[in-house]
Chains A and B, each alone.
Chain A
Amino acid sequence: MSIRRIFAVAKRIIRQFIHDRRTVALIVIVPLLVLSILGALLKTTPSYEVGFVNQDEGVTTPLSTQKISSAIEESLKDTENLKWHKINLEKAKSDLEDGTLDAYVLLGKSFSKDISERKSPLVIVKLEGSDPNASQQVLGLVNQNLLSSFSDQKLVDLKVDYLYGGEKFTSLDYFAPVFIAFFAFFFVIMLTSVSFLRERSQGTFERLFASPVNNAEIVGGYFLGFSIFALIQSLIVLLYTIYVLDVHFLGSLWFVFLIELILVVGAVNLGIFLSAFARNELQVVQFLPVIIVPQALISGFIFPIKSMPVILQWLSYAMPLTYANNALRDIMIKGKDLASVSFDIYILIAFAFLMILLAAFSIRKGI
């Protein structure tokens, strides 16, 4: 064993790294970027919006009408992670449906009467329900905040109801839709960028560009080829999650495929665009953590967007996976139709067009 030779090998590796400045920069930037995002996300405590609907008609005595619920209503205080909104039932229902509220608490008409008669008053907690973790946390916070204002907590019969999902919903139900989008997005970007780079480095592009084929035909062919595999992958992931992992699925398979197709158009073209800035496969792979990790962290994949710091919320709204996740969750968990997720679809189409433009301008770069 020669120390001199070991040093020679090490010196060569260091020199190669120094020549590849992008790799050196990424080694430093990627961990700092990921740590900054994670730090910001984990430091933030989630905040929930809860409606308070008081339908209590009070109890009438010969002297006056008394509302026991008024005292409870006045005692409700906003905390760091729970904000109360005193509203009527109609507004509560619509706010819960459009995601403005995470839950609402309903005190029934006979609330005061029941308490005065030492009967259990009707108190309903209606949860949005699509995220089981959030549901549990909201329920815990509501219990803590609301029940503390009751003098006799044992008397209260809290009835929990769900807009979507239910008690049997698990975290897997919540994550399954985003896995479908994530896998397709990630693999299509990776495969397209590597395939395109190979076309450039192996000279096949040179041969192709001397033939009658044009940029649109190449991009169209790539999209068609990769979307077939992305859809097969989605179908396998979907069937596996539904039938093996027993995930709840309420929506239409065709809607899922449509969202997937639009996402794949964007991903194929993003892959083409990225390949123009890499000289070898290692450099292409280096792009992936920069593109994929932030999207996985702040696209609503794991952490709810509305609980994130404002700057991360803005960043998440600039990311295509945010809209794909949202649309797929709405379709798969909430059973919504395409019209209900039209905004997400338009944004995904806009992203796909932007990527097509970028790919068209970069496709011949370096040829």
Chain B
Amino acid sequence: MENIIEVEGLNKKFPPDIHALSELTLQVKKGITFGLLGPNGSGKTTLIRILVGILKPDSGKVAIIDDSLSWSEKAAKIGYMTQTHALYQDLTLAENLDFFAAIYGLSAREKRKRIEELISLVKLEGKEKSPVATLSGGMRQRVSLAASLIHEPQLLFLDEPTVGIDPSLRREFWAYFGSLNRQGVSIVLSTHVMDEAARCDELALLRNGKLLAQGKIEELLAQTRSKNLEEAFLSLEENG
């Protein structure tokens, strides 16, 4: 399929009466960076958790990667960077990466190669033997990204990936996301920061679990006759 994700009429409620997602329908094309933009509580993380298979929707259809694959085969092609660092604090950086590499079935040689590449990518050379608990928040965020990339996934979910990292590294992350897209990797990332969302190829604007709009940034700006994303979001919110 041309789309790597197709979601139709997705609903998810949490007790007592929170509508996290309401009749959500969207598509994500292969090989692009797709942004989920919305304030806290808009349903971004719930949608990602449904797409990675952690949560089950109450109703609706989800088609992801290739429907002929089993769930574990799909999971092997998915990378997921959670909003929390999701690392073992008492293990070292290298031990954390080694563990996640083993979970995805990498051989000893592949593990060594990937750990070396990723430590270099996230610029943490020399910190391999440092326990994660001793690293700063920004460093942990980088280790978390490395852990989600360890098995070279085809589809990468990043939940607020650049929170807590400095602007220069953020720029490098975005450059790296671009290079991943060129290699055919699709990225779905959530953000509530407008200038980050502006870097995505396509966006879905979410509010209270509902999709306000989906499309390329220029399409969204044209549709709302806005100068920037913030105005577009506010306009869609008022009319939605």
Contact = CB atoms under 8 A, between A and B. Distances in A.
B82 A211 contact: no
Per DSSP, chain B at the interface is loop
Nearest to A214: B72
A210 B80 contact: yes
A207 interface: yes
B54 A203 contact: no
Interface string A190-215: 00000000000011101111111110
A367 interface: yes
A203 B82 contact: yes
A367 B54 CA distance: 7
A285 to B, nearest CB: 18
Interface of B: 49, 52-54, 72-73, 75-76, 78, 80, 82-89, 100, 103-105, 147-148, 157
A258 to B, nearest CB: 29
B86 A211 contact: no
Given A202-B87, A203-B86, A210 B100 contact: no
B72 A207 contact: no
A1 B8 CA distance: 63
Contacts of B148: 207
B75 A210 contact: yes
A207 B100 contact: yes
A315 to B, nearest CB: 35
A206 B72 CA distance: 15
22 contacts: A202-B89, A203-B84, A203-B86, A204-B87, A206-B49, A206-B54, A206-B82, A206-B84, A207-B80, A207-B86, A207-B148, A209-B53, A210-B53, A210-B54, A210-B75, A210-B78, A210-B157, A212-B104, A212-B105, A213-B103, A214-B72, A367-B54
A211 B104 contact: yes
Given A204-B87, A206-B86, A211 B147 contact: no
A367 B73 CA distance: 21
Contacts of B83: 203
Nearest to B88: A204
Nearest to B104: A211
Contact of B75 (A206, A211, A367): A211
A212 B54 contact: no
Contact of B147 (A202, A207, A209, A367): A207
A335 B85 CA distance: 53
B199 to A, nearest CB: 24
Given A206-B54, A207-B100, A367-B54, A212 B75 contact: yes
Interface in A353-367: 367
B72 A204 contact: no
Contacts of A212: 72-73, 75-76, 103-105
Contacts of A206: 49, 54, 80, 82, 84, 86
A206 B82 CA distance: 7
